[in-house]
Chain A
Amino acid sequence: MKDRKINIYQYRAILITATIGIGLITLPRALANKVSTASWLAMTLGTVILIVISFLILRLLNYFPNNNIYEISQTILGKYLSIIITLIFISYYTLVTSSTVRFTTDAINVWMLPLTPMSAIIFILLIVSSYVCLKGTETLGRFCTAFLFFNILSVLLVLFFTFTKVKPYNIQPYFHTTFVELLKGTKESLLSLLGIETFFVFHKFINNEQDVASSTYKSIIFIGILYVLLVEATIGYFGVDQIKTLVFPVISLFKTIEVRYFIFERIELFFLTLWLAAAFTTICIYYYCGFYLLKVLLPKKVSHAILPIYFAITFYLSRLPQNIDETFKLLNYTGNLGILICLIITVLLLSIGKIRGVFR
């Protein structure tokens, strides 16, 4: 019972805050590029597929309520293969962290601090995340729950400001797309919806296992609805042709809005600060997941000493992209890896476990 530190609310908060991150800003453009006005359909399909994936993942995890991914794969595959699988997970978490950090830094650099060197911003983001790593799972759960409000508020803010200004002809026709395009769009939406793969680490900490499945599906559907609304609102506000030319469509949206008689003239900075909270929770969660698995792999003596090295690696990876285009490529690559991990490794572990009769 000592490890059961997270209650069901905190678990839900971790899922939602891990999911809502940079997708909030990039999603409308990515979808509009692929499926134009049928984005809502791709988004809905993506949500449904994610529910299927999470069903598989939870199926696997329910067999091992007290284990993380390393211990699970050790039981199923043996020692050496499990180390490889854990290393894949670690590298995936590290990649997500560094690409998210990099994208956030780009956004900050463009909109808030144009003259500040990029390394300084990356450094600060990672230092604060490292503090979470030192404090542990309990703190992370509480932190995500406390920040959940800001995450959802940042989405609601978009909806609130675009609510009256959506032009119906921008979001029509609703079904105009080919099957291949729809599949591509669905994959794009999946990239933004990922977040469930953090369960491989957090599942063993929950103190209320019965409610996990239902609250997971509820949270995913909630996020799906929020994102469908977000995408439709943004596309309805700008139109498909214009949105394809914008790097940060949602921030640009706030730039076009002028709120009179308000102290802040540029409301997009206000939104950006809120969105920073969303990006920040994502960074913290993935960074902690990678660090936690590293700690599991290594002997206990060096567990905290590994943090500076982990920090340095993440820092280096975040510095790697030369421009925003490469950042997007890195994001894309990471997302693909995430889908692979969620689908292939889960199915692999499930089927091998079934064949070997590990599950009871």
Chain B
Amino acid sequence: MLRKIKNILRAARNQGDKTYESKIVDASYEKNERLSSSLKKNIDNIRKTFGDSDDLQIRKIPGGSVYNFVLIFIDGLVKEDDLNEFILKYFSFKNKESTSFKEIIINSNLPVTSIHEVQDYSDIIAHILNGLSILMIEGSNTAYALDYICFNKRSITDSNLEKNLRGPREAFIEDIKTNLALLRKRIKSRNFQVDKLTIGSRTNTDVAIVYIRDIVNLDIVNEVKSRLVNINYDDVQDSTYLAHLISDNPITIFPLMAPTEKPDKVSSSLLNGRIALLSDNSPTAILLPSVFTDFLHVQDDFYERFYSAFASRVIRYIGAFLAVFSTPIYIALTAVNVDMLPTKLAIPFSQVRYVVPFPLIVEALIMEITLEVLREAGLRIPNPIGPAISIVGGLVVGQTAVNAGLISPFLTIIVALSAIGSFTVTSVDLVTSLRIIKFLFIISSGVFGLFGLGASVSLLIIHSCSLTSFGVPYLAPFSETSIKDAFNSIFRKPFIIDFERNRYYRIKNETRVKK
């Protein structure tokens, strides 16, 4: 019986006797090899280099009596309408006089944005991969790359991740040209500079380093460039890949570079002497160098009036503090340093805890982990299921667990407080690390109380003191100079007295006003 089924399966698998032969062909040109004057050989070489890939289009054009043209491009990367309209018609009918090929291309009013002359195979391959169309001719060892690039891209919309109340709403999209234009539109200065590199040995992703030449510290720019050039990795899908690859300390828990999707934030940071890293196919710009306080600030602070910005920053700091410390302090005070609480508060705490079967630290860990699971579940869930999660989470965790006597209601309040606090921190990177740090604090304060909490806080502060982001210390506002820098970094000054950039980015030009 079993054998029968096996035979049937095997028969089903072996339907048809055709085998498939792989057609992988090695690159058939030497490094730096030039084009030859034989059109047939050139075409063969290019075709072999691409392994005879099916989306490589090689279109032969019988160009009247004199010339034989060939047009090479990749399907889908070019505006085919324009190619049909201009190239094919233009060259097949118009040019029958025996002027030189170069003159036809250069002097004709061919409607195309840019034409490059190329003679190396490697250049031709790179141009084809970038979406340019290559025009070659019988008997000439020069080819022409024509810019008829056309990608489909998303239109500019607002960011899902970074919401703001006031100020510009547009966010970056997945096209680096558009993103750079969005920045250029905001900073109309000749000192705004873009340096482009190609990173990723297989993806060959365009990467742009953007900075303001007369503000930024050029040593940092050179450091960034040399680190980018030294990347030996074949896959760059997003600019965050770059951030992971060039980080000062890849294994630290703190985020050392700030990703953002908002061009206004990027341009404001550029004017503060920072550098932005953009990558093609990525709606995220990486801001560097970054210090700790950068992750707690939002661009909204500068659009709001001074007082409301001040207040909302203070609230955000309190939120961040609660997110990390509310549960550990509760544990330290109720499990270890009980005598620190007022008697009127200590009695209800212990009364409620009396029915709970677990030790406090276990109870807290269960609650925190449940919360993290709920949050993770809610993050990428399709919209219609969202309410279901909140009902299940709210009812099961909030209500039933307390009624069943598994969790004490005080702890529920405290954990909810820490969750709400964490929502005030807008930087996703920082929130993630704060959530992980919280577990360390919970355990240490469960074992050693306030002393354990203090020791682990010191450990983390020492660790963050040892971090640098492109040579700028991570805690620079607090660990470098006097209290003035710390104050400037924590609170926003009103514009009428805010004449100086923050010094801790090691910038060249410190003043914002013309002298």
Interface residues of A (CB under 8 A from B): 7, 9-10, 108, 112-113, 116, 120-121, 124-125, 128, 131-132, 135-136, 138-139, 141-143, 145-147, 149, 263-266, 269, 273, 276-277, 280, 284
Closest chain-A Cβ to B125's Cβ sits at a distance in Å of: 44
B39 within 8 A of A: no
A264, B340: Cβ atoms under 8 Å?
A: yes
Which residues of the partner chain A approach B451 to less than 8 Å between Cβ atoms?
Answer: 108, 112-113, 121, 124, 276
Which residues of the partner chain B approach A131 to less than 8 Å between Cβ atoms?
Answer: 459, 462-463
Which residues of the partner chain A approach B339 to less than 8 Å between Cβ atoms?
Answer: 266
Which residues of the partner chain A approach B473 to less than 8 Å between Cβ atoms?
Answer: 138, 142
Check A135/B455 contact, CB under 8 A, given A116-B448, A269-B340.
no
A265, B343: Cβ atoms under 8 Å?
A: yes
Q: Which of B197-243 contact A (CB under 8 A)?
A: none
A143, B465: Cβ atoms under 8 Å?
A: yes
Interface readout for B477-505 with A: 1 if CB under 8 Å, 0 if not?
Answer: 01111110000000000000000000000
CA distance A116 to B451 in the complex (A): 11
B337 within 8 A of A: yes
Which residues of the partner chain B approach A266 to less than 8 Å between Cβ atoms?
Answer: 339-340
B466 within 8 A of A: yes
Check A145/B478 contact, CB under 8 A, given A265-B342, A273-B450, A277-B454.
yes
Closest chain-A Cβ to B339's Cβ sits at a distance in Å of: 6
Check A128/B341 contact, CB under 8 A, given A135-B462, A273-B450.
no
CA distance A277 to B458 in the complex (A): 8
Interface readout for B445-482 with A: 1 if CB under 8 Å, 0 if not?
Answer: 00011111011001101110110000001010011111
CA distance A284 to B465 in the complex (A): 14
Interface readout for B36-75 with A: 1 if CB under 8 Å, 0 if not?
Answer: 0000000000000000000000000000000000000000
B466, A7: Cβ atoms under 8 Å?
A: no
Which residues of the partner chain A approach B458 to less than 8 Å between Cβ atoms?
Answer: 128, 277, 280
Among B336, B448, B462, B475, find the residue whose CB has the most chain A CB atoms closer than 10 A.
B462
Closest chain-A Cβ to B480's Cβ sits at a distance in Å of: 7
B448, A265: Cβ atoms under 8 Å?
A: no
Closest chain-A Cβ to B173's Cβ sits at a distance in Å of: 39
Among A131, A141, A269, A277, find the residue whose CB has the most chain B CB atoms closer than 10 A.
A269
Interface size class of B (residues with CB under 8 A): 20 to 34
A139, B462: Cβ atoms under 8 Å?
A: yes
A143, B450: Cβ atoms under 8 Å?
A: no
CA distance A263 to B452 in the complex (A): 20
A265, B341: Cβ atoms under 8 Å?
A: yes
Sorted nearest first, the 9 A-B pairs with minimum C-beta distance are A142-B479, A142-B465, A265-B342, A139-B466, A135-B466, A143-B465, A145-B479, A146-B478, A146-B479
Show 23 residue pairs from A and B whose CB-CB distance is below 8 angstroms, ordered by the A residue: A7-B480, A7-B481, A112-B449, A113-B448, A121-B451, A124-B448, A124-B451, A124-B455, A128-B462, A138-B473, A139-B465, A141-B479, A142-B473, A142-B479, A142-B480, A143-B461, A145-B478, A146-B461, A146-B478, A146-B479, A147-B461, A266-B340, A280-B458
Which single member of B343, B449, B463, B480 contacts A113 (CB below 8 Å)?
B449
Which residues of the partner chain B approach A7 to less than 8 Å between Cβ atoms?
Answer: 480-481
A112, B450: Cβ atoms under 8 Å?
A: yes
Closest chain-B Cβ to A297's Cβ sits at a distance in Å of: 24
Main secondary structure of the interface of B (DSSP, over half): helix
Closest chain-B Cβ to A260's Cβ sits at a distance in Å of: 9
CA distance A108 to B336 in the complex (A): 13
Closest chain-A Cβ to B230's Cβ sits at a distance in Å of: 22
Which residues of the partner chain B approach A284 to less than 8 Å between Cβ atoms?
Answer: 462
| B474 nearest CB neighbor, chain A only | A142
A10, B337: Cβ atoms under 8 Å?
A: no
CA distance A73 to B450 in the complex (A): 44
A128, B479: Cβ atoms under 8 Å?
A: no
Which single member of B336, B337, B475 contacts A146 (CB below 8 Å)?
B475
| B450 nearest CB neighbor, chain A only | A273
Which residues of the partner chain B approach A142 to less than 8 Å between Cβ atoms?
Answer: 465-466, 473, 475, 479-480
CA distance A138 to B472 in the complex (A): 12
Which residues of the partner chain A approach B462 to less than 8 Å between Cβ atoms?
Answer: 128, 131-132, 135, 139, 143, 284
CA distance A165 to B74 in the complex (A): 86
A146, B454: Cβ atoms under 8 Å?
A: no
Among A7, A116, A146, find the residue whose CB has the most chain B CB atoms closer than 10 A.
A146
| B483 nearest CB neighbor, chain A only | A149
CA distance A321 to B343 in the complex (A): 36
CA distance A276 to B459 in the complex (A): 13
CA distance A142 to B461 in the complex (A): 10
CA distance A132 to B458 in the complex (A): 10
| B467 nearest CB neighbor, chain A only | A139
B480, A9: Cβ atoms under 8 Å?
A: yes
CA distance A147 to B475 in the complex (A): 12
CA distance A139 to B452 in the complex (A): 22
CA distance A124 to B337 in the complex (A): 18
CA distance A149 to B459 in the complex (A): 17
Closest chain-B Cβ to A277's Cβ sits at a distance in Å of: 7
Closest chain-B Cβ to A82's Cβ sits at a distance in Å of: 31
A269, B337: Cβ atoms under 8 Å?
A: yes
Check A146/B465 contact, CB under 8 A, given A9-B482, A108-B451.
yes
Interface readout for B378-416 with A: 1 if CB under 8 Å, 0 if not?
Answer: 000000000000000000000000000000000000000
Closest chain-A Cβ to B254's Cβ sits at a distance in Å of: 14
Closest chain-A Cβ to B102's Cβ sits at a distance in Å of: 55
Closest chain-B Cβ to A90's Cβ sits at a distance in Å of: 22
B481, A9: Cβ atoms under 8 Å?
A: yes
Which residues of the partner chain A approach B455 to less than 8 Å between Cβ atoms?
Answer: 124-125, 128
CA distance A10 to B458 in the complex (A): 18
CA distance A268 to B483 in the complex (A): 27
CA distance A141 to B466 in the complex (A): 10
B466, A145: Cβ atoms under 8 Å?
A: no
Among A108, A125, A128, A276, find the residue whose CB has the most chain B CB atoms closer than 10 A.
A128
CA distance A68 to B173 in the complex (A): 56
CA distance A145 to B479 in the complex (A): 5
Interface readout for B418-462 with A: 1 if CB under 8 Å, 0 if not?
Answer: 000000000000000000000000000000111110110011011
Which residues of the partner chain B approach A116 to less than 8 Å between Cβ atoms?
Answer: 448
Which residues of the partner chain A approach B461 to less than 8 Å between Cβ atoms?
Answer: 143, 146-147
Which single member of A10, A135, A273 contacts B454 (CB below 8 Å)?
A273
CA distance A62 to B162 in the complex (A): 54
Which residues of the partner chain B approach A10 to less than 8 Å between Cβ atoms?
Answer: 479-480
Which residues of the partner chain B approach A146 to less than 8 Å between Cβ atoms?
Answer: 461, 465, 475, 478-479
| A13 nearest CB neighbor, chain B only | B479
Which residues of the partner chain A approach B342 to less than 8 Å between Cβ atoms?
Answer: 263-265
| B465 nearest CB neighbor, chain A only | A142
CA distance A141 to B473 in the complex (A): 11
B454, A276: Cβ atoms under 8 Å?
A: yes
CA distance A10 to B340 in the complex (A): 35
Closest chain-B Cβ to A264's Cβ sits at a distance in Å of: 5
Which single member of A113, A132, A264 contacts B341 (CB below 8 Å)?
A264
| A144 nearest CB neighbor, chain B only | B479
